Amino acid sequence: MPQAFGRSSKIHDDIRENMTLATFQKSLKTTHPAVTPLPKRIPAGNDCTGAGMLQRQAYLRDHGIKVEALAGQTPSPEPEKIKGNIENLIGFSQIPVGVIGPLRINGLHAHGDFFVPMATTEGALVASYNRGAYVISQAGGASAMCLTESVSRAPCFLFHSLAETGLFLSWIYDQYDTFHDCVRETTSHGQLIDMKTSINGTAVYLIFDYTTGDAAGQNMVTVATEAICKKIIAETPVSPHTWYLEGNLSGDKKASMLSFLGARGKKVVAEALLPEKIIRKFLHSTPAAMARYCKMSTLGGIQSGCIGVQGHFANALAALFIACGQDAACVSEAAIGITDMEVTANNDLHVSVSLPNLTVGTVGGGTHLPTAKECLEMLDCYGEGKARKFAEICAVTAMAGEISIIAALAAGDFGHAHATYRHKG
């Protein structure tokens, strides 16, 4: 995702504020398992009995993690308390939640060993991610950086002629600084950071970019943009004959190339260096075999017209979004990204993932619901100041899945794993 100089400078300042290169490198060494021992793995792995579930719940409680809501020991929220989250309420869907970990992350915002909740009904998924998390952690953990963030809304204005279109554009550029006041009247958390324009015939699209604090922010930017549009309509010297609050140029909840040309949500990059002996022992493959499959997968993705190429980011993000009270529809854009694998001179495997569109939040939306709050608290990601941390955890969790699935395909174990774990009812 290319960035303008001003935004690139902001990214640089954010990185420098959180961690210098020296301290970042030091953190990778001090959190290596040989120096800082990893917590024990989640017990009773793949034990599908009630006794196994109770062991895992007890293990998490012993680590100070609450699971009362997830364990069904608290009542469902009263309908009045979830007004704004649902209409025509008839009850609550039950989706099983598994946990993986510990997943060691050495990030700018997420730093430590995490037990990650995943809500899914797909057999083999949690087991696969747990395997990837184990390999990452045994290798010393993954590095992660949340680089930039913004959420867009793109209103469209229609005119009768190109002359009117030109006059409108000439006027609108001089008004940009006044739009900040409109935004401040609607939110104390969101900020307008940019405005881009696009012309198609006599249609003018204005793409407004915002930061939204620790909220995912879709509703926030909608309200703010409507306030700007009302100001425009009230004051413009040349009125459009029609206008729309969203002209479908923001990339909202759909896969598009905007993921790599702009930003909608948070962009996170992550990497891990996996020693050959760990890959052979736990993944039953080799760095060369995994890198070769990754290359072939990339070529296949290009031929199929993929926007970005990766194995299955959507599995990780859908499971995390549902567990943690995120807007599940945003997986359609959040799951766009790139996975890369390369064999190093020491015959180890360097793995990197780039996710340019993580639309996530740790306040607002469904984050306050009992199980969602509990899952976010499991990651120490509930509330203010935690959204970038959560985004980094999402990215490294996605990486864990990429490592596991690519190893399984490279080793020829993929079909057997699904035959073993699928539901046979």
Is 122 tagged catalytic? Answer: yes
DSSP bridge pairs for 191: 211
Which residue in 63, 189, 350, 418 is the catalytic one? 418
Measured between alpha carbons, how far is residue 412 from residues 123, 238, 285, 406, 408 in Å? 18, 64, 9, 10, 6
Is 276 tagged catalytic? Answer: no
Is 111 tagged catalytic? Answer: no
Tokens standing for residue 378: 């499991």
CB 309 within 8 Å of CB 338: yes
Picking from 225, 226, 238, the residue whose alpha carbon sits closest to that of residue 158 is: 238
Dihedral sign (CA 238, 240, 244, 250): negative
Quick one: which H or E segment has residue 157? strand 156-158
Tokens standing for residue 14: 């954010």
- Torsions phi, psi for 135 (to 5 deg): -65, -45
Measured between alpha carbons, how far is residue 323 from residues 295, 341, 366 in Å? 32, 29, 10
Tokens standing for residue 203: 């249609």
How many CB atoms lie under 10 A from the CB of residue 265?
28
Which residue in 14, 122, 226, 246 is the catalytic one? 122
Which residue in 327, 340, 380, 413 is the catalytic one? 327
Tell me the catalytic residues: 122, 327, 418
